[in-house]
Structure 1
Amino acid sequence: MHRNQGVLITFLSDSDSDDLEMLVEATEEEEAEREIQRTHRRGSVLGRCVINRDRGEDFRMHRPLFCRILSDVEVYDPNFVQTKDAVGIPGLSSLQKVIAAYRILAYGVPADFLDDHIRIGKSTSSDSLRHFVKAIVAIYAEKYLRAPNEDDLSQLLQVNEQRGFPGMLGSSLNDINVLERSHIFSALTNGRAPPVNFIVNGNNYHMSYYLADGIYPSWATFVKTISAPISLKANHFAQAQEAARKDVERAFGVLQARYNIVRGLARFWDEETLANIM
């Protein structure tokens, strides 16, 4: 049994495929009653309050979104279509395979951990994840994994100008190999970046840039921090630059919080699967 955004997903052991169903969401009255119990319950020690750590928020997905992804993946990849074997026994459903993939991604559990919960074997779980991430990339890459367009870049420039860095497209952190695979940076180095005009200390500039640390080369497209600031002005710039550059670290922190598979050691050894997971 698995709870996902107030939805109970129950897997039954009968052979009839209709026995595998999603139960309806809990009623508003039940949710309200649970909230009252959470806020009014006292600890085991008199006067000790119970901290609501909101454990259910670790990985939640709205039911319509889950069902949409499930449907799209099933249409794209026949591997997720439920079939019957030679004696007419139905195999695993698309729901079981997709949930197995989600649980490995979200919680970072090994593939053989899911047998008791979803009635799915280790090899099938691993295979389902490979097919799932490949299907997600193929279906949604054009919309969600595309290179930023002019409107996106203009918005980035506007936000970064408000933060005190006019002309900044983004920031980099410690790994130049990642930057070299960036669509934005490739366009910038090839002269295909959006037109930018800004003034700093009375000087006009027409090229956008990235914030970077000392590991990066001394290019005009990098604005690096001051490693040993002496004056108050230099110290202020270094603090502001390093604070803004933490965007990348924070982004990966959010990614790891949502998808625990990123935190641990790689459970898959082929580069294609690893790339699709990321």
Structure 2
Amino acid sequence: MLMFSSDSSDKEDELLLVIAIEEEQAAAARRSHQRGSMPGHAVIDRHHREGAARLYNDYFTDNPVYGDVLFRRRFRMTRRLFLRIAAAVEEHDTWFWQGRDATGKLGLSLLQKMTAVIWQLAYGVSSDAVDEYVRIGASTAMLALRKFVQAIVEVFGDEYLRAPNEADTARLLAEGERCGFPGMLGSIDFMHWVWKNCPKVWHGAYTGHTRKPSIVLEAVASYELWIWHAFFGMPVSLNDINVLHRSNLFTRLTDGTAPTVSYSINGNRYDMGYYLGDGIYPEWATIVKAIPAPRGNKSIHFSAMRASVRKDVERAFGVLQARFAIVRGPARVWDQSTLHNIMTACVIMHNMIIEDERGSASTVQVFDYMGEPSKVHRNADEGVLHYVEATQAIRIRAMHRQLRDDLS
């Protein structure tokens, strides 16, 4: 214990010495808890191996604690599909391999990384919300999310986010005719995804009537809620018409690679399929809108039937948001590329879940992937001429009205 002398200068020196000793002790205590390469960053021993063992015993053993029903509810997909995706992602990106650090300590397992990602997508939680159970840090969970959605798009995008081939088109046309709409290929609409962390410089472009920055997803869905077309990334300041002009929905029609469509209504022959859209869409030959202010039983019945069938795309949006809450709540990611991959990956997995579970419904058709359609080879002049003619044919207003009158 320090003793103070009666001299005031000595007291001041001793007081400064005590303060210096206390500050050094406090700094030493901080250093003892730091143990990291970054100042103020504490290294946490999360016991990865114990977390991996608990996760495996809870969900992935032959006799798990939580069975198939709870797995499907919590992971939004069956265990069979989860393991298929995990194997494909692990083969595509070596980051998902389980390795060892510089000290030889075993790192996170594939199942831990996958579970952290799926729960972020399914529940829309922050990246550190899964730490307590999965035993994965926030930065690692966010990195896993970015790498996972990119892998899903690259591995499964061509198969599960493809345009309809010949066989697909035939089935869609058959279903449309069964519903009373021969020539229908699906329903078209778009949804908003609020962008919470939109950079200030982009607020004006991404803000519309909702007064919040948002990004638009344009989609086409069929009766079984399969999403055949997804065009994502346009600012919400653009409406349905502007987004339609920028999307690639009718690209195959204009370049001549679309499957052949031929049907007859009331003696009139048509060679282009159509989509059911709401009132804001233009009067094109490939979009059937409602009759404004319908009069008479015939027009009223047609409007009611068209509205009931067009609900397919609305239902698809609802199921997509229910399965993956991350696209229902505000987006917290800063960059557009990651947002695009997240939305696209959710749409792809939505279609994969439909395919995986379609065996429980005998009425659902099977859509087989047969690769991309063959290209039509034309010289430059023929290609330009066909593009101009096809674009003009798509936008004939008289054909739109004739088609709507024949359907009604």
State if a TM-score over 0.5 links the two structures: yes
Relative distance call for 1:202 and 1:261 in structure 2 (3 A) is same
Task: Name the structure 2 match of 1:128.
Answer: 144
Q: Deviations over 1:188-221 (max 9, x none)?
A: 3445433333232332222221222221112111
Report if aligned partners of 2:274, 2:285 keep a CA contact under 8 Å in 1.
yes
- Which amino acid in the other structure matches residue 156 of structure 2? Y
Q: How does 1:68-107 map to 2 (within 5 A)?
A: 68-107=84-123
Structure 1 residue 168, shift from structure 2 partner:
1.2
In structure 1, give the amino acid aligned to 2:99. Answer: T
2:187 is the alignment partner of 1:171: yes
**SS in structure 2 at match of 1:171:** strand
Return the match for 1:201 from 266, 273, 277: 266
Measured at CA, do residues 248 and 22 of structure 1 come closer, stay the same or move farther in structure 2, by a change above 3 Å? same
> Is contact 2:189-2:277 (8 Å) kept?
yes
Range moving further from structure 2, 206-215 or 159-168: 206-215
3-state SS, counterpart of residue 147 of structure 1: coil
Cα distance in 2 between the residues matched to 1:237 and 1:272? 42
* Residues 206, 74 of structure 1: alpha-carbon distance in 2 compared, 3 angstrom cutoff: closer
Q: Is the alpha carbon distance of 1:190 and 1:227 closer, same or farther for their aligned partners in structure 2, counting shifts above 3 Å? A: farther
TM-score normalised by structure 2 residue count: 0.54
Distance across 2 between alignment mates of 1:212 and 1:264: 25
The Cα offsets for residues 122-148 of structure 1, whole Å up to 9 and x where unpaired, read as: 111111000011111111223222222
In the alignment, which residue of structure 2 is the partner of 1:3? none
Partner letter of residue 268 of structure 2? Answer: N
Q: Distance in 2 between matches of 1:235 and 1:63?
A: 47
SS of equivalent to 1:173: strand
TM-fit CA distance, 1:19: 4.7
- Map 1:128-277 → 2, pairs under 5 A: 128-173=144-189, 175-176=240-241, 179=244, 184-277=249-342
Which stretch of the first structure deviates more once superposed, 205-214 or 248-257? 205-214
Decide whether the 8 Å contact of 1:172 with 1:211 is kept in 2: yes
Q: Using the TM superposition, give the Cα deviation of residue 60 of structure 1 relative to its aligned residue in structure 2, in angstroms.
A: 4.2
Given that residues 15 and 89 in structure 1 are in contact (C-alpha distance below 8 angstroms), is that contact kept between their aligned partners in structure 2? no
CA RMSD of aligned residues (A): 3.0
Amino acid at match of 2:172: L
Question: Residue 247 of structure 1: CA displacement?
Answer: 1.0
What is the rounded CA distance, in whole Å, between the counterparts of 2:72 and 2:52 in structure 1?
A: 28
Matched residues in 1 for 2:175 and 2:314: separation?
18
Uncovered stretches (5+) of structure 1, i.e. residues with no partner: 1-11, 36-53
Task: Say if 2:77 is the partner of 1:61.
Answer: yes
Whether the aligned pair in 1 keeps the contact of 2:75 and 2:119 (CA below 8 Å) is no
Identity %: 52
Greater radius of gyration (CA): 2
3-state secondary structure, aligned to 1:22: helix
Q: Which stretch has the larger CA shift, 77-86 or 172-181?
A: 172-181
Instruction: Give distance in 2, aligned partners of 1:14 and 1:194.
Output: 52
Cα distance between partner residues in 2 of 1:100 and 1:152: 35
Q: Quick one: distance in 2 between partners of 1:92 and 1:195?
A: 50
Q: Which has the higher contact order (CA 8 A, sep 6+)?
A: 2
Asked whether the equivalents of residues 85 and 91 of structure 1 are also in contact (C-alpha less than 8 Å), the reply is yes
Aligned-partner Cα distance in 1 for 2:72–2:86: 21
Q: 1:243 to 1:15 in 2, by over 3 A?
A: closer
| CA deviation after TM superposition for structure 1 residue 176, in Å | 4.4
1:38 maps to what in 2?
none
**Inter-partner Cα distance in structure 1 for 2:250 and 2:313:** 15
Question: In 2, are the aligned partners of 1:111 and 1:126 still within 8 Å (CA)?
Answer: yes
- Give the SS at the match of 2:189: coil
Q: 1:58 to 1:185 in 2, by over 3 A?
A: farther
Q: Distance in 1 between matches of 2:76 and 2:274?
A: 37
> C-alpha deviations, 1:206-257, integer Å up to 9, x for none?
2221222221112111211012111111111111111111111111111111
Amino acid at match of 1:221: T
Q: Give a deviation string over 1:97-127, Cα, whole Å, max 9, x none.
A: 1110010011111111111111111111111
Q: Secondary structure at the match of 1:90?
A: coil
Amino acid at match of 2:81: L
